[in-house]
Chain A
Amino acid sequence: MNSKHTIGVFDDEDKLVKAIKYLKSKHANIKDVFGPSTNHELIKSLTTESRLPYLAVLVAAATIAATFAFLYYTSVIDYPLRYGGKPLFSFPPMVVILFLVTILVTGGVSVMLFLGRTQLFPGKKAWIPDPRVSDDRFYLVMDQNFNPEEIIRWLREFGALEIIETDIEKSSIS
């Protein structure tokens, strides 16, 4: 299902940030911003903090528990072999292994979570409003549900270089 969108084209993050802040204060429905790079302010102006780190902590905790159980099972219960007079379950080596496995699994799962949540995968056909968004232009995409004329005016005011109105399929932008 397609719907009409208004797009403001910017070439400067600072102007864009101001525009976003203003539009947000006016409760304009900003769909997304596309750009070649970003900075902290720009991100903060539009989005809320990602919850990825919290998930990562959970994953890490689970990994530690599972790895510990695995190590204990293999070296004490399943096939207890003696090495150089050490106790069957010697803790120091386990610390090293737990540490590394946790990092590996947490890192891996985090990347997976990110790719899944952001719906990125190899071979995905990227939807981009314009090739220049990966070069030197920032595209501010707005829903036309909110008074379009006013938006165009505001965008002009905040220094948009161009303003485009177009049809976009809804699912292509989050």
Chain B
Amino acid sequence: MISSNISQPLVTGQKQYGDITRELLENTEGRPPLWWLIAFGLGCLALAFGGWAFYMSLSQGLGTWGLTNSVGWGWDIINFVWWIGIGHAGTAFTIFFLVFRQKWAGSINRSAEAMTVFAVMCAGLFPLIHMGRPWLAFFILPYPNTRLLWVNFNSPLFWDVLAISTYLIMSVTLWYLGMVPDLATIRDRTKNKFKRTIYGIFSLGWNGSLYAYNRYETLLKLLGGLAAPLVISVHTIVALDFAISVLPGWHATILPPYFFVGAIFSGFAMVLTIMILMRKAFNISDYITWKHLDNIALVLKYGSLVIGLAYGIELFIAWYSGVDYEMYTFFNARVSGSFSTAFWIMVSCNAIVPQIFWFRKARQSIVVLFIVSILINVGMWFERFVILISSLAEDFLPSSWTSYQPTIVDIGIFVGTFGLFTVGMLLFIKFIPIIAINEVKPISKEGQRVTIKNEKA
């Protein structure tokens, strides 16, 4: 990946530790601004819409969705894969920072991790509510019971449950452990007794002891090391949900790497969106500099190339295999058939548009960055749509071919997850430093050293 460029400081503005603390705690210490309140209200509205949709599907049944006898998974699993993909970026950043020692990731990983946590939460909802009888979801756990019955360990859905819960636990742990020293900082700075108690509880009695720091760093590295294969495995397993099956367009060995790259790709795009918004909202451009945005844009550029390659390989293999069903799915259903619109949106948003980042000017334009990041996420959503629906709706026996239309409930649940994500992120912004203060401090020191060195040179 990108090696950190030592010749440029990653935190600009010659800050003392005290300045850093003050600047980065602004969001937790001040009153929430108007835009925050408005956004929060909107988020809650979306959440309420989602709640209604959730209630409908729970009380009436999954018939309220747009699924058919042939298309057993629709927007639910599309959204699930999409959110999970987005969720990958946060942990990826943490791993870059902890394992690959990419210092530039240090100021991003907190928000990216937060994004991960909320995205995985959103994603995790879908496997639960896509069940016909979610109240029996515990059947999926292999616990000793009076039925003497275990579960099917061959099922990718079981792996999925395991992977998603492991991933959620690990990313929450990493996120939370990473913020413990910062929570201690808030605890020590606040005058509000209640706030001090709450932050006191969550900071676990952290006191900045060097011995604790020693173990803490070791633990984080260890968890980072564990999380690195986990991140790869999670989307691999999500891909296996499809690859293990027999359907044309699903049953492909390329799916796991392709899904993983897609996940990192969409995750980074979402990080970019959020970083741009945060830079706009808070005075943190010294911490998230052009350098950071540029690095993300470069990752997107190369990610886009890999994705494009994957699309090409899929088509090639479908042709090369000579299997009728594969050929039909790829060339008759996706490239030119009922799903061609979605397919070409997917190709243009994911493989073509990000190529604009070959130009430095584009990488340095906030507007371009923002638009492209949004387009990539749209494109990635359509990628999942194309993969899921086209293979299900037009599979082996033409007699069971159907079309697929989502209902208001499908849409409601999707909007609801946006609400959950927004509300979660806004609460995060309100109560937790958006940039890891304790990690940024040494980086800024290093940056100052670099600046001095550069000046000397």
Residue ID in chain B nearest A14 by CB atoms: B445
Given the complex of chains A and B, what is the CA–CA distance between A34 and B209 in angstroms?
A: 4
- Bound together, the chains give a CA A122 to CA B205 distance in angstroms of 7
Given contacts A32-B211, A93-B153, A134-B181, 16 further A-B contacts (CB under 8 A): A11-B17, A35-B210, A35-B213, A36-B185, A38-B442, A46-B210, A49-B218, A50-B215, A79-B149, A100-B166, A108-B169, A118-B211, A120-B205, A120-B212, A128-B208, A135-B21
Is B420 an interface residue when CB atoms closer than 8 A count as contact?
Answer: no
Q: Which of A39, A93, A103 contacts B230 (CB 8 A)?
A: A103
- Distance from A78 Cβ to chain B, minimum over Cβ atoms (Å): 7
Once the chains are docked, how many angstroms separate the CA of A144 from the CA of B102? 41
User: Contact at A126–B169, with CB atoms within 8 Å?
Assistant: no
Cα distance A162–B294 in the bound complex, in angstroms: 43
Once the chains are docked, how many angstroms separate the CA of A91 from the CA of B152? 13
| Among listed A1-9, A109-117, A145-153, A163-171, interface-contacting one | A109-117
Which residues of B122-167 have CB atoms within 8 Å of chain A's CB atoms? 142, 148-150, 152-155, 158-159, 162-163, 165-166
Cβ < 8 Å to B, chain A residues 91-131:
93-94, 96-97, 99-101, 103-104, 106-108, 110-111, 114-115, 117-128, 131
Q: Is B441 an interface residue (CB 8 A)?
A: yes
Interface residue? B321 (CB, 8 A): no
Is residue B313 within 8 Å, beta carbon to beta carbon, of the partner chain? no
Q: Can you list 16 residue pairs at the A/B interface with Cβ under 8 Å? A: A34-B210, A36-B21, A38-B438, A39-B445, A46-B214, A70-B142, A71-B153, A74-B153, A86-B154, A100-B166, A107-B173, A118-B215, A119-B205, A120-B212, A127-B205, A135-B18
User: Interface stretch among B66-74, B84-92, B221-229?
Assistant: B221-229
Q: Known contacts A94-B153, A103-B170, A106-B226; is A120 also within 8 Å of B206 by CB?
A: yes
Q: Given A32-B211, A111-B177, answer yes or no on A103-B222 (Cβ-Cβ < 8 Å).
A: no
Closest Cβ–Cβ distance, residue A100 to chain B (whole Å): 5
A143 to chain B, nearest CB (A): 15
Judged by a CB distance under 8 angstroms, whether B95 is at the interface is: no
Partner of B438, one of A37, A96, A99, A173: A37
State in angstroms the CA–CA spacing of A104 and B188 once bound together: 33
Is there contact, CB below 8 Å, between B222 and A120?
A: no
Q: Please name all residues of chain A whose beta carbon is closer than 8 Å to the beta carbon of B165 when the two chains form the complex.
A: 104
Cα of A124 to Cα of B209 in the assembled complex, Å: 15
Q: Within 8 Å CB of B163, what residues of A? A: 100
Q: How far is the CA of A142 from the CA of B203 in the complex (A)?
A: 25
Q: Which of A50, A108, A174 has the most CB of B within 10 A?
A: A50
Residues B208 and A123 in contact, CB atoms below 8 Å apart? no
Main secondary structure of the interface of B (DSSP, over half): helix
Q: A108-B169, A125-B205, A136-B18 are in contact. Are A101 and B162 (CB under 8 A)?
A: yes
Q: How large is the interface on A (under 10, 10 to 19, 20 to 34, 35 or more residues)?
A: 35 or more
Measuring CB to CB, which residues of chain A are less than 8 angstroms from any residue of chain B? 11, 13, 32-39, 42-43, 46-47, 49-50, 52-53, 56, 70-71, 74-75, 78-79, 81, 83-84, 86, 90, 93-94, 96-97, 99-101, 103-104, 106-108, 110-111, 114-115, 117-128, 131-136, 173-174
Q: Which residue of B lies closest to A137 (CB)?
A: B17
Instruction: Provide the residues of chain B in CB contact with A75, threshold 8 Å.
Output: 150, 153
- C-alpha spacing A134/B445, complex, angstroms: 16
C-alpha spacing A43/B226, complex, angstroms: 23
Measured CB to CB, the residues of B under 8 A from A are 16-18, 21, 142, 148-150, 152-155, 158-159, 162-163, 165-166, 169-170, 173, 177, 180-181, 184-185, 187-189, 200-219, 222-223, 226-227, 229-230, 233, 237, 240, 437-439, 441-442, 445
Contact indicator A135/B203 (Cβ below 8 Å): no
B17 smallest CB distance to A (angstroms): 4
Complex: chain B residue closest to A47, CB-CB: B214
Contact B21 A114 (CB under 8 A): no
Chain A residues with CB below 8 A from B170, complex form: 103-104, 107
Is the CB–CB distance between A83 and B214 below 8 Å? no
- What B residues does A125 contact at CB under 8 A? 200, 205
B208 touches A133 (CB 8 A): yes
Known: A103-B226, A131-B188. A122 touches B21 (CB 8 A): no
Contact B207 A128 (CB under 8 A): yes
Cross-chain contact of B218 among A35, A53, A71 (Cβ < 8 A): A53
Shortest Cβ distance from B309 into chain A, in angstroms?
26
Measured in the bound complex, the distance between the Cα atoms of B222 and A80 in whole Å is 38
Chain B, Cβ-Cβ closest to A20: B210
In the complex, residue of chain A having the shortest beta-carbon distance to the beta carbon of B225? A53
B150 & A52 in contact (Cβ 8 Å cutoff): no
Which residues in A have their C-beta under 8 angstroms from that of B184? 126, 134
Q: How far is the CB of B258 from chain A (nearest CB, A)?
A: 18
Question: Chain A CB within 10 Å — which of B148, B180, B214 has the most?
Answer: B214
- B159 CB contact (under 8 Å) in A13, A38, A100, A124: A100
Cα distance, A156 to B311, chains bound together (Å) = 66
Name the residue on B nearest A74 (C-beta).
Answer: B150
Q: Which of A35, A101, A133 has the most CB of B within 10 A?
A: A35
Cβ of B442 and Cβ of A114 under 8 Å apart?
no
Cα(A96)–Cα(B238), bound, Å: 12
Q: Which of B181, B204, B208, B214 has the most CB of A within 10 A?
A: B208
Smallest CB gap from B151: residue in A: A74
Question: Judging by beta carbons under 8 Å apart, are B215 and A114 in contact?
Answer: yes
A97 touches B169 (CB 8 A): no
Docked Cα-Cα span, A68 to B230, in Å, equals 19
User: In the bound complex, what is the Cα–Cα distance between A101 and B437 (angstroms)?
Assistant: 33
Complex contact A50–B18 (CB within 8 A): no
Known: A50-B218, A114-B216, A128-B188. A135 touches B17 (CB 8 A): yes
> With A34-B208, A104-B169 given, is the CB distance from A39 to B218 under 8 Å?
no
Indicate if the CB atoms of B211 and A120 lie closer than 8 Å: no
